[in-house]
Amino acid sequence: MIKQVTCSVKVIKKPSSEPVLGTTVLNIVIDNHESFVKVMSSVIADDLIQLLTEQSNLYNSQNVQKLKVSPKTLKWSIITPEGLRKSLRLIILMGQGRKETIRDCWSTDPKVSTPIFLTL
């Protein structure tokens, strides 16, 4: 049985419709692999990484039977804190360089490759 729920929202102050004058771009200058890892470690705390790791693995164990599996689906493997850190680093780095396609991020072609990806 579906229960209908109603709610009301009171707008206290109308949002400003003025244009945003600045930009919302984060640029990180990366000198080398070690400095990037240090920056990431200082921004994303170990306890957050641990919590995300535990909750991701817990979610999978609770829902493994409900998830659809197709021939293209990779088998789940337990997430480790270090693996999660590497994934987050790659996601952030992917946003720093402009590529034509997402495949270019992983290219080994010297014309389009991103050398730091190979060091992570």
Q: Tell me what the mean pLDDT of segment 113-120 comes to.
A: 70
CB 107 within 8 A of CB 113: yes
CA angle (82 as vertex; 50, 69 as ends), nearest 5: 85
pLDDT-derived band of residue 23, with 50, 70 and 90 as boundaries?
A: low
- In whole angstroms, how far apart are CA 20 and each of 15, 29, 35, 53? 13, 25, 32, 36
Mean of pLDDT values over 14-22:
61
Q: Select the more confidently predicted residue: 43 or 15.
A: 43
Mean pLDDT for the stretch of residues 79-85: 93
Over residues 83-105, the mean pLDDT reads 80
Average pLDDT over residues 86-96: 80
- Residue 81: predicted pLDDT: 95
Residue 26 has pLDDT above 60, yes or no: no
Residue-averaged pLDDT of the chain:
75
Task: Let me know if 57 is exposed, middle or buried by CB neighbors in 10 A (0-12, 13-18, 19+).
Answer: middle
Q: Is pLDDT above 90 for 6?
A: no
What is the three-class DSSP state of 53?
Answer: helix
Q: What pTM did the predictor assign?
A: 0.57
- In whole angstroms, how far apart are CA 56 and each of 3, 16, 21, 70, 111? 31, 38, 38, 21, 36
Report how far Cα 88 is from the mean position of its chain's Cα atoms: 5
